[in-house]
Structure 1
Amino acid sequence: MSDYDSGIDLIEADLDGFVLTIRLNRPDKLNAVTQEMSAALVDLITRANDDPAVRAIVYTGSGRAFSAGSDIRTLDQYATPWEFRNRRDYCDALRAARKPIVAAINGYALGGGLETALTCDIRIAATTATFAAPEIKLGWIGGGGMSALLTASIGAGNAALMLMTGDPIDAQRALRWGLVSEVVEPDALLGRAHEIAAVIAARPPIAAETAKANLRAAQNLPQDQAIAYERELQGITFATEDAAEGRAAFAEKRVPVFRGR
């Protein structure tokens, strides 16, 4: 395992094979994100985007929380609402990631922590996970994509229930609603997330990143445009060296070796 230093103690980052694990490490504060942590995450994702050694990311938290979102006690440090609006936000950082991200949701995913999970591509939850959008209880709403991403994940009615009450749901309800793909025991969570990430990392990296871009297009474009966009992306990936290697390996009945070219 090689080090992938985040620059601060509150975020652990390690590269193992082609999988980068990012772990929030502020368990005494339920991994609430400070401005310093947010800036570090922006830098980490920027670095990972440009690093061919990173093909997939696992994102998780330490202790009993995935993340409780922004540290509320630090929000008054912004001089004006405009400065708050233009902050370097951790959800924006994750949304800018080109590499596929698997969220290993170990506990509380609250507010911005839920937005963080929703921003990830695949979500695996421990049986101990809890999900909530509690901002309404404090007088505001989420601003990191909460309404759009939650509605896309669980439907408008279920999203309304969470957004308008602020009340939590447990892992099993999250599974029934489609918020997460799997629920596993806590001691199996990180292993399962790494297993999924390792499978993705073994795929051609250009195709994996293109699949992520294509999924986002499918969620945001009218169907005819999304299909046309998919066809263009297919043409791009088909022309790569990895695609040629995949076809050759299939014909020769051997395991392909993908190089990201």
Structure 2
Amino acid sequence: MIDVTVRDEVALVTLRRPEKLNALTSGARKDLAAAVRAHGDGELARGVVVTGTGRAFSAGEDIDQAVGQSLVDEVDSFQDLTRAVLETRVPVVAAVNGLAVGGAAEWTLCFDARIGTPSAEYFLPENHIGLSISNASSYLLRRLVGGRALRLVLDSTRLSAADALASGLLDEIVEPDALMDTAIGLVHRWTLPGTATETHLKLLRAPLEEVERAFAAETEAARQVDEAGLARAGMERFVSRDRT
């Protein structure tokens, strides 16, 4: 379900599971992290762009698969996606073609830019499902939206593209047929010969040590909601509702 190509010296990582809104299995998350790492040292590409197919960027975790699994293990594999991006030496851009949910929406928070289309949406449903947030979003979300972070999480907010742009979750909105060219063009602009982009990525990205502290706190939170039975009950309610 992961397609990786290099176009105009930029690695395009595309989620291709539109029938499931590009929901991410544990295997897909490992493949995504590997794809980012494989193109993140600047040897094979000047940057990385991640996008989806169909009407979603990604529905986040594949809850059908996750029911009955350890929430801690699921959270750990999502967090490694964030770690993979922050370890790169090149710009990483999210081309948000549609709905971005839960862990997938949270993953984009560590990207260097998030470009959306008018149909892009951000949805953070975890609180109302009994799940805990991940991907260091307990730290990264506040960096982007400030004091609105708590309400966005507690309300399980779903934001339109315009609202996501206004809040800082998106940096730009373009028409669908311009999405990939815009993302590739941004990478090109940031990596012109003579630019100090790698240095500024190190200076301005979220410090990895702060992110790792957030990972640890979020892993403990996942353990608590899992042991309390909230996660399993919430996912079972979600799956049941989805099939009716």
Q: TM-score, normalising length from structure 2? A: 0.78
Q: Does 1:59 align with 2:50?
A: yes
- Give CA deviations for 1:148-194 in whole Å, capped at 9, x if unaligned: 111110112x2122100102011111111222111112222122111
Q: Displacement, 1:200?
A: 2.1
| 1:36 match | 27
- Give CA deviations for 1:114-165 in whole Å, capped at 9, x if unaligned: 1122121111110101111111121012111222111110112x21221001
Q: Is the 8 A contact 2:30 2:77 kept in 1?
A: no
Instruction: Give the number of the structure whose alpha-carbon radius of gyration is greater.
Output: 1
Partners of 1:184 and 1:31 in 2: CA distance: 21
Structure 1: unaligned runs, 5 residues or longer:
1-9, 222-261
| 2:8 match | 17
> Amino acid of the residue matched to residue 182 of structure 2?
R
Partners of 1:183 and 1:50 in 2: CA distance: 28
Q: Displacement, 1:73?
A: 1.6
| 1:244 match | none
| 1:194 match | 184
Q: Displacement, 1:44?
A: 1.4
| 1:182 match | 172
Partners of 1:134 and 1:181 in 2: CA distance: 22
Q: Root-mean-square deviation (CA), in Å?
A: 2.3
> Amino acid of the residue matched to residue 151 of structure 2?
L
Q: Is the 8 A contact 1:134 1:167 kept in 2?
A: yes
- Give CA deviations for 1:26-61 in whole Å, capped at 9, x if unaligned: 111111111111111122122113451312111111
Q: Is the 8 A contact 2:101 2:125 kept in 1?
A: yes
| 1:153 match | 144
Runs of 4+ off more than 4 Å: 217-221
Residue 82 to residue 108, structure 1, CA distance change in 2 (3 Å): closer
Structure 2: unaligned runs, 5 residues or longer:
211-244
Aligned length in residues: 209
Q: Is the 8 A contact 2:60 2:100 kept in 1?
A: yes
Q: Displacement, 1:197?
A: 1.5
Q: Displacement, 1:86?
A: 4.2
